[in-house]
């Protein structure tokens, strides 16, 4: 009996050591990865191909993209997001981070949305922003941000930014810990998907009529 117990203890101890040495797969940089079944197999990448390091210059690691205001009239919500990416900052490739400029018109809003692959920290630079997120217990955490103040949104949770000033625009900068954090605006993903979610499903889920579903869908461009 004692021998069996010692063997079990040794097995569990060895398993703990193996698990401690193992590492999880890296977060994907896309929503899904369709398997390539062709032979021979092609090259596998979790990002963009790299240039020869000997060709690297300082210009690869700097950008002025965030110095230019975004067009907040391009959508019905009154916001614009300008991110760094491998097109305007090639040195960011594989580093697992993104910086974004967020312009919000007077009374504009970055509507409830989520980033499935990243946490986010937002710093208000101009104006006053009401920000918040909802956790998986449906608790809401909100805060009014003034210039210089920051707020963090946990990975994957629905959050929003609202410019409470009806006369002046607001400006924020956000950092996210993924090269491609992904984004889903809750209302657009639900009511303006292609193809659309059946009206009867949305009517039942939101406890509204199918006519109201069609009105919302139309307003969101669905």
Q: How many residues does the chain have?
A: 222
Distances (CA, A) of 211 to 136, 187, 198, 216: 30, 17, 12, 9
Residues near 17 by beta carbon (within 8 Å), at least 6 away in sequence:
none
pLDDT tens across 25-61, in order?
566 665 656 555 566 656 656 677 788 888 888 988 9
Tell me the pLDDT tens digit for each residue of 110-121. 999 999 999 999
Q: Is the pTM of this model over 0.75?
A: yes
Q: Sheet containing 170-176: which strands, arranged edge to edge? A: 79-83, 98-104, 170-176, 120-126, 150-153
Average pLDDT along the chain: 87
Buried residues in 116-136 as b, exposed as e (16+ CB within 10 A)? ebbbbebbbebbbbebbbbee
Q: What is the pLDDT of residues 70-113, one digit of tens each?
A: 999 999 999 999 999 988 998 888 888 999 999 999 999 999 99
SS3 helix, strand, coil % of the chain, rounded to 5? 25, 25, 50
Identify the architecture of domain 54-182 in CATH. Sandwich (2.60)
What ranges make up the beta strands (E) of the chain?
Answer: 79-83, 98-104, 109-114, 120-126, 129-134, 140-145, 150-153, 158-163, 170-176, 184-185
Q: Provide the residue ranges of all domains of the chain, joining segments of one domain with +.
A: 54-182, 192-222
């Amino acid at each position: 009996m004692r021998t069996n117990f010692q063997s079990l203890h040794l097995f569990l101890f060895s398993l703990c050591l193996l698990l401690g040495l193992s590492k999880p797969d890296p977060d994907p940089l896309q929503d899904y990865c369709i398997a390539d079944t062709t032979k021979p197999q092609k090259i596998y990448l979790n990002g963009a191909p790299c240039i020869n390091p000997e060709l690297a210059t300082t210009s690869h690691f700097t950008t002025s993209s965030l110095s230019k205001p975004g067009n907040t009239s391009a959508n019905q919500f009154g916001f614009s997001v300008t991110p760094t990416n491998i097109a305007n900052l090639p040195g960011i490739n594989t580093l697992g981070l993104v910086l974004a400029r967020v312009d919000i018109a007077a009374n504009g809003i970055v509507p409830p949305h989520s980033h499935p692959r990243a946490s986010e920290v937002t710093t208000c630079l101009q104006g006053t922003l009401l920000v918040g997120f909802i956790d998986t217990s449906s608790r809401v955490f909100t805060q009014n941000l003034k210039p210089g103040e920051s707020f963090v949104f946990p990975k994957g949770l629905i959050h929003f930014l609202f410019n409470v000033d009806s006369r002046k625009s607001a400006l924020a900068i956000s950092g996210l810990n993924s090269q491609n954090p992904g984004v889903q605006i809750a209302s657009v993903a639900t009511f303006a998907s292609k193809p659309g979610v059946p009206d009867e499903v949305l009517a039942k889920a939101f406890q509204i009529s199918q006519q109201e579903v069609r009105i919302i869908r139309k307003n969101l461009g669905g």
